[in-house]
Amino acid sequence: MPSKTSQHGFTMIELIVVIVILGVLSAVALPRFTNMQRDARIAKLNAARGAVTAAASMVHGSAMARQGQPAQACPTGGNATVAATGTGTLCTENGTVNVTLLYPAATNNAGIVAAAGLVQTGGTGAPTAAQLAADGYQATVAAGTATIAIMGGATPANCSFQYVAPTVLGAGPTISAVTTTGC
């Protein structure tokens, strides 16, 4: 006579073990397959490059309009003056922006970095290195070239682009393509 206690289906413990294994795999393996953090750093880098491109154009137009005009007091402090040579400063909500040859300067954070508004300073002037770092940016300047990098990747220097200020009046700045190998 056959036994009536034959088992059909899975026990509750077997189901729980399978669910736990699937949970561990999704928490550990899935991020390795979809590296969304890297994609986010690349998107942030492209957005920063777009902001720098737009800021360079807007500052250029404003500098051309202000060129040779009397000094104008800025609401955040300082004065807007652009000499006939194309050098000087302009007012922005982040303070004054240094201008060279009618484009934002690449001399310090009061140049293209402030003009692009990568971080909001609340009208206290150009962003500091600490403010940039708090938002995941790093800006370095050498010989008229500003390198803007996104922090958090394997090699921030290789998750960056460069803004090169013009060297002659009438020429525009050079903004490099983004480098994403270190994102």
What does the pLDDT read at residue 112? 92
What does the pLDDT read at residue 3? 58
Contact between 78 and 93 under an 8 Å Cβ cutoff? The reply is: no
Query: What's the angle, vertex CA 107, arms to CA 113 and CA 50, rounded to 5?
Result: 30
- Per the document, the length of the chain is 183
144/164 Cα distance (integer angstroms) = 6
What does the pLDDT read at residue 146? 94
The amino acid that residue 156 corresponds to is P
100/106 Cα distance (integer angstroms) = 8
The residues, ordered by sequence, that sit 6+ positions from 167 with a Cβ below 8 Å of its Cβ are 101, 144
The residues, ordered by sequence, that sit 6+ positions from 171 with a Cβ below 8 Å of its Cβ are 101
pTM > 0.75: yes
Q: Which two tokens stand for residue 79?
A: 């004065």
What does the pLDDT read at residue 123? 59
9/72 Cα distance (integer angstroms) = 82
The tens place of each residue's pLDDT in the chain, 183 residues long, gives 555 666 677 888 888 998 988 888 878 777 666 678 888 999 999 999 999 999 999 999 999 999 999 998 888 777 889 998 899 999 887 778 999 999 999 976 789 998 998 887 665 677 888 889 999 999 999 888 999 999 998 898 999 999 999 999 889 999 999 999 999
The amino acid that residue 100 corresponds to is T
